[in-house]
Amino acid sequence: MNKAGWLGFLWGGALLFSAALRLWGARHPEPLQVRSGAALALVLAPALLITLWLLWSSRGSGESEQSDTDQESA
């Protein structure tokens, strides 16, 4: 799937999820009791996933960048 397809899929999924939450909130107006573990996971999970992705994607790229700069200075 190309980038535009993935973008549409993700945005469409987010829109459907948002609409479902909106409908659920309209039918259940009382405050939602959230457990501290769930809230902590929602706050920390995205940062952890991005950190792991950045570490994984930068794995081994330091050597190629160093060799590029060595070739330019020679």
Rg (alpha carbons) of the chain, rounded to whole number: 21
Q: Which domain holds residue 18?
A: 3-61
Q: How does pLDDT run across 1-28, given as a tens digit for each residue?
A: 899 999 999 999 999 999 999 999 999 9
Question: What is the rounded distance in angstroms from the CA atom of residue 46 to the CA atom of residue 15?
Answer: 19
* The token pair that represents 48 in the structure block: 């952890």
Is residue 50 in a domain? yes
Count of domains in the chain? Answer: 1
Q: pTM value? A: 0.48
Is residue 35 in a domain? yes
Is residue 34 in a domain? yes
Residue scoring higher pLDDT (71 or 52): 52
Mean pLDDT over each residue of the chain, to the nearest integer: 86
- Band of pLDDT at residue 60, cut at 50, 70 and 90: confident
Is residue 71 in a domain? no
